[in-house]
Structure 1
Amino acid sequence: MYRKSTSGAWKIAAREAKLDEARAKLTDALSALMNGAEFQRAIEFAARFRSHSFNNTLLIWLAHSEAYEAGRVAGPTPTYVAGYRQWQSLGRHVIKGQSGYMILAPVTAKFVSGNPADPGSWRKLERGPGPAAGEAVKSRLVNVRTTYVWDVSQTEGDAIPPLPVPRLLGGQAPEGLWDGLASQVFDHGYRLFQVPDAATLGGANGLTNFTTKVVSIREDMDELARCKTLAHELGHVLQGVNEDGPSHRGIAEVEAESVALMTLAAHGVDSSQYTVPYVAGWAHSIEGRDPLEVVASTASRVRSMAIQVLDGLDTLQIPDGAPPGLQQERLVSQSTGATAAPLSRQAVTL
């Protein structure tokens, strides 16, 4: 009995130690995102690995950088990542001696209720008899655990089939992007107008009026710039739709610009000409909130909104980080994808 108890306590301590390690890595990574250039790089990287949560993209980014510096992988940027058995299901196996990249995976439990409209009526379904007749069932995120993924360069075996990727010329917009973005603006009850120049909009490239529900874009720009501006304004539209949207103007602009950046990056557009506004200033300006929490929740909302935009587009997009042929669910939080508590001590939201 003593041995069994000791073994169980050791396993729990080991799991907590791994979670603490992941939280520490995320805290360091988020601290680096106070720099606007690093925040922009992280958003671009998230566009290439949008099948994972923002927090997990940071962990993958850090782990691959460490592997590259140690000479364990040949390239500075990962391509496709998957778990050990997932690679096996695709006819590949992890090369002996290759260390996996630690990420966070959800721990879910089933909850049941005889009155689903009452939030307080839900109870956890314990082992044994299933739900009673007429009870509703749903899964909830109750915890997180650590797990590991490997980049394709750390594996060998069957070839990975190439996927088509967008090929764009300078100033050219991805085919169908304008129409797809415009359709989403219309779907949210807004009208879209193109105006002659920036003077019509007080010097801006685009403008969203939440009162009249009108989005205006200046038309004297090349098609790529107009698409980028429309994606930015669609970000504002989504902020207005979401009840948990930012109340701080600086954050609202960073989020909208980041949604545009991630949307275009997912279409293979070089976004080096764009600049996300400086992050540290607004992150520290929110009274009563930890700057790391502000950055984490902002980045998670950006990813959530950008995924919503991208999923609503019928356009050719770059791969999302999951190997072709692998069905992988996106790991997001139950609602907004935001981190609900400081990362240093509390559970990390996926």
Structure 2
Amino acid sequence: MVRKIKNTKTADQRRIEAETMQASIAEQVEQLRNSDAWMKYLEFAQAFHRYSMGNLLLILAQCPGATRIAGYRTWQNLGRQVRKGETGIRIFGGRSVRWTEEDEKTGDETERSTVRFFPVSVFDIGQSDLTDPEAEDHSTVAHKLTGEDPQGITNAATDYLTGKGWTVSREPISGSANGYTTTDGSKQVVIDQALSPAQAAKTALHEAAHVILHSDQDAAEYIEHRGIKETEAESVAYIVAGILELDTSAYSIGYVAGWSQGETEVIKETAARVLKAAHQLAEAITEPAEEKQAA
């Protein structure tokens, strides 16, 4: 039996509520951008460099839940320590090599250079801990939810995805992500088993949004535009959860701000796709509204 959530709102009520909530995301992100927490988060984020598409694909293949990657020493410099026993993510590092080449006939010297690649190990932030447990963590502005899932959102989203041919499981996730949706055609959704019921519910909606919006895209396209993809998926989760009386703003607003880099125009530009997916998901996981009997 497919588990669905009892519906107490009409389609028009859900539509108006969804539009209001979508518009509020940009407003709340704007407020966050003016906070000290955002400035400290940006300072932390600036310590990371961009990886090539090839390396990003390697990272995704080895650790689908990875979100922020750095080398062992970099994490130490940022006040974090990679935990003993963690397995590194193997990628390729590059080093510029220069040499002087002499022409055998003329004796002229020419400067040559190339980049030599070699395997290196990097680690996700989820594989590290703060060296000072009392220190304030500025690595995120998204705060995980606590509490329950009284509406049964996780079960309803799971049944929806299963009905679409996806496998949904609760497993330990290596890395800092709360869940992930595979992009290799295996049609798997994994949600971290350690999450609170409320956070698991929000994550289930987030991954369902990825399935609706992005499952037909290959890994390279997903990585290239990941900021937009994550902004869209979390916006859908925030809206649908809100319609179902689960407030995820403590996590969702910071998450959207981070992946959109605080650019409210990105949020506004995704509105049409987000609202369409939110309506589709909300309708799929709720029971049809009961028609009122005429007096």
* TM tier, smaller: 0.3 to 0.5
> TM-score scaled to structure 1, two decimals?
0.37
